[in-house]
């Protein structure tokens, strides 16, 4: 199996382009899934306070017997904690749950523009503190739309290293991706296989048949060739292995274009629209 490439972020840090996502993995199953992924060769785990499984991620890394420094760990600020003091407490709790004294990357999970008087700027400035004190090696955002990124650019010191947004062949999210490309913000594509929804598509299946790869591998490879960072989630060992095995083939530009043309615009979005999403977990 070929090695996972890294991408250099705008603060000089390097992130493995493929990782393992743990959204919707039960807290009690997370340590084992994480350990399995690491055993198979993953070195990048994407979790969040909202997923309630940071403790399992930390445990899985320790169970795998791999040095903390060899694994790239991302977590995200939960929606209820945007005010600076709440964000400071929440970040302390993230580190305590993981059992580590730093994360590689910490993100604002959602911009929540209709809550907190639309103030995600003071939240971002609080993440800048975590970066300065070294407990977050890099900081970034998730689900930020172009106006949100423009506001950070105008009102704060630090350009986010990444913007983690929904991207897959049915929702290519072009405008937000293009803004990132123009401003040195790496795109992390969440739900890279649209939670399975794109895998039965005839175009995807046709390319899979022609390349001898699975539909999931074809779609993940498309993301990699576009330069995005991905972390497919699976609790199925054979799929965890399959999703990593995408570095020994290349899609032709015609095949890559055919996948891009599956874009359905807003109709293809599977998750909430960040402009109106206002969920606060209880």
Ligand X SMILES: NC(=O)c1ccc[n+]([C@@H]2O[C@H](COP(=O)([O-])OP(=O)(O)OC[C@H]3O[C@@H](n4cnc5c(N)ncnc54)[C@H](OP(=O)(O)O)[C@@H]3O)[C@@H](O)[C@H]2O)c1
The set of residues, in sequence order, having a beta carbon less than 8 Å from that of 72 and lying 6+ positions away, is 15, 16, 19, 43, 44, 45, 104, 105
Catalytic residue among 51, 72, 170, 179: 51
Number of residues engaging ligand X in binding (CB under 6 A): 29
Binding mask 133-152 for ligand X (x = CB under 6 A): ---------xx---------
From 150, 191, 147, select the one nearest 171 (Cα to Cα). 191
Q: Of 73, 152, 194, 262, which lies in the binding site for ligand X, with binding defined by CB under 6 A? A: 194
Does residue 234 interact with ligand X by CB under 6 A? yes
Q: Containing H/E element for 201?
A: none
Q: Of 81, 100, 171, 190, which lies in the binding site for ligand X, with binding defined by CB under 6 A? A: 190
How far apart are alpha carbons 197 and 194 in whole angstroms?
5
Q: Of 71, 103, 141, 216, which lies in the binding site for ligand X, with binding defined by CB under 6 A? A: 216
Minimum CB–partner distance for residue 22 and ligand X (Å): 5
**Tokens 């991207």 correspond to what residue?**
167
Nearer to ligand X, 53 or 59 (CB): 53
Does residue 42 interact with ligand X by CB under 6 A? no
Six-digit token pair at 43?
């070195």
Nearer to ligand X, 132 or 279 (CB): 279
Pairing mode, strands 20-21 and 44-46: parallel
In the annotation, is 51 catalytic? yes
How far apart are alpha carbons 86 and 269 in whole angstroms?
31
Does residue 195 interact with ligand X by CB under 6 A? yes
Does residue 239 interact with ligand X by CB under 6 A? yes
In sequence order, which ranges of 133-252 are alpha helices (DSSP H)? Answer: 146-155, 174-183, 202-211, 215-226, 237-244
Minimum CB–partner distance for residue 29 and ligand X (Å): 10
R_g over Cα of the chain: 18
Q: In the complex, which residues of this chain contact ligand X (CB under 6 A)?
A: 21-24, 46, 109, 142-143, 164, 190-196, 199, 214, 216, 231-236, 239, 242-243, 271
Residues belonging to the active site: 51
């Amino acid at each position: 199996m070929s090695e996972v490439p890294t991408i250099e972020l705008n603060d000089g840090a390097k992130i493995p382009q493929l990782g393992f996502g743990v959204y919707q993995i039960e807290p009690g199953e997370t340590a084992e899934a994480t350990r399995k992924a690491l055993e198979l060769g993953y070195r990048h785990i994407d979790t969040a306070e909202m997923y309630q499984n940071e403790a399992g991620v930390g445990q899985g890394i320790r169970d795998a017997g791999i040095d903390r420094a060899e694994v790239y760990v991302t977590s995200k600020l939960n929606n209820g904690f945007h005010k600076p003091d709440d964000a400071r407490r929440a970040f302390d709790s993230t580190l305590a749950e993981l059992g580590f004294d730093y994360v590689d990357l910490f993100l604002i999970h959602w911009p929540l523009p209709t809550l907190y008087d639309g103030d995600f700027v003071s939240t971002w400035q609080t993440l800048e503190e975590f970066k300065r004190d070294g407990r977050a090696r890099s900081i970034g955002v998730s689900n930020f739309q172009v106006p949100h990124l423009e506001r950070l650019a105008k009102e704060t010191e630090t350009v986010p290293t990444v913007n983690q947004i929904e991207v897959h062949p049915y929702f290519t999210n072009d405008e937000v991706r293009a803004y990132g490309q123009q401003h040195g913000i790496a795109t992390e594509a969440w739900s890279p296989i649209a939670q399975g929804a794109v895998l039965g598509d005839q175009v995807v299946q046709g390319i899979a048949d022609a390349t001898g790869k699975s539909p999931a591998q074809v779609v993940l490879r498309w993301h990699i060739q576009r330069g995005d960072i991905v972390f497919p989630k699976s609790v199925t060992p054979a799929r965890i292995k399959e999703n990593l095995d995408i570095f020994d083939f290349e899609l032709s530009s015609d095949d890559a274009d055919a996948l891009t043309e599956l874009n359905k615009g807003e109709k293809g979005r599977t998750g909430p629209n960040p402009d109106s999403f206002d969920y606060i977990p209880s």
